[in-house]
Structure 1
Amino acid sequence: MSLLGTGRPAGPLARVPAAVLVVALAVLGLTTYLVDDVGVLAGSALAGLLALGLSGLRGRAAVRAVVGLIIFVGVVVLVTALTDTAAHALAHGLRLVAVLAFALAVTSSTTSTALLDLIDRGLAPFARFGLPVRRIGLAVTLTVRFVPEIRARYLEVREAQYARGLHNRPVAVLIPLLVRTFTDAEDIAAALDARCWDADQASR
């Protein structure tokens, strides 16, 4: 299962090691925010979109990701254009397209297991100082992995409450969402206990 929750990664990027993808994302993000040249930013945005195309993200998941990307970037560009110059708005928009598109490509091409192994290897030198490496890796992996799940549950709860006529009532959506999220967390904890998973022991 990919970090984006879209099933098993199947695109060309799925064959690239997770470490390479994460480092490339970090380099791309750093580069885009250190450079102001529109041509370079446009190239970075194109690279991000190309990576997204190679990620294997298809169907409804791809539509939701692209639509969400367009809406978010569009709002940022509009607000920046109203409060600053058009050139700065264009630069901010290209930066966001580059970083967010590549981030979507990485999360849809990387499995939870690959990310956990990557964090374990990266933090392994700090284990001698008592750092709970496995616990940190599991926490980060579960957080990233369940962000799409929480979003999907939010949409389900919101549609159900709208069907009951509960419009513009955040509490009616928030409480069921929190209950389902905590229930899932308890189920995961129970599953870990059933498998005798010991974070401290696993980190040694």
Structure 2
Amino acid sequence: MPEQESLFVVKRTILDPKHPTGLSFNITLPATFTDLQAAKAEAKALLSKEGYDTDFFTPYKAKSDPSDWKYGDGVIVFAKAPSGEVFKVEIDTVQNSAGLQSDASGKVQQPLYHVLQTLIEYNDDRSGSERYTIVEGTYTDRRHASDQALRVLLDTDMKREDFVEYDEYTDGTEGPFGPDVIVHAVKEGGENVLVSVVADH
């Protein structure tokens, strides 16, 4: 299959507002494609593949008519469990900067490492459930992905000093935000940003 300019990363998040230890936010990136239609097909089938009975969810919505869709642009499946957990299956589009190639089905088969940026709007919701995660880039090497993660928030217009708080976790020890988080920063308005490196599963 020829190399494509874009990668389509399937992203599954589970938000559990009633978790015993406080809000739980779980994200996995199970598959990456060079073909958008193949990525959409995978996204729609994902919860069933993971062993969930889709009849168990109320509601369970799969995107078919974009004009009537109210769950967000990149969201392909939105579902809610009776226990209150919210499931979303989305597709994030990133540049194929590594020149990755896919198999005949459009799926990239080699192990990948994704750089994610998560914005947490504590001002809108003190629980932290109001959060958005986007894939910033996809790489074949963890070290390269970690290097890129350190650059995500910093550019010619934005320096470390421009944040109220800016912490890096690069020495191999796990920080307070979990083993995947490389950077935690706080903006002037109170918005928290996490930059992490997550391997595909």
TM-score by length of 1: 0.26
Tell me which protein shows more strand as a share of its residues.
2
Structure number with larger C-alpha Rg = 1
**Higher relative contact order, structure no. (Cα contacts within 8 Å, ≥ 6 residues apart):** 1
TM-score, with length taken from structure 2 = 0.27
Q: Could you say which structure has the higher helix fraction? A: 1
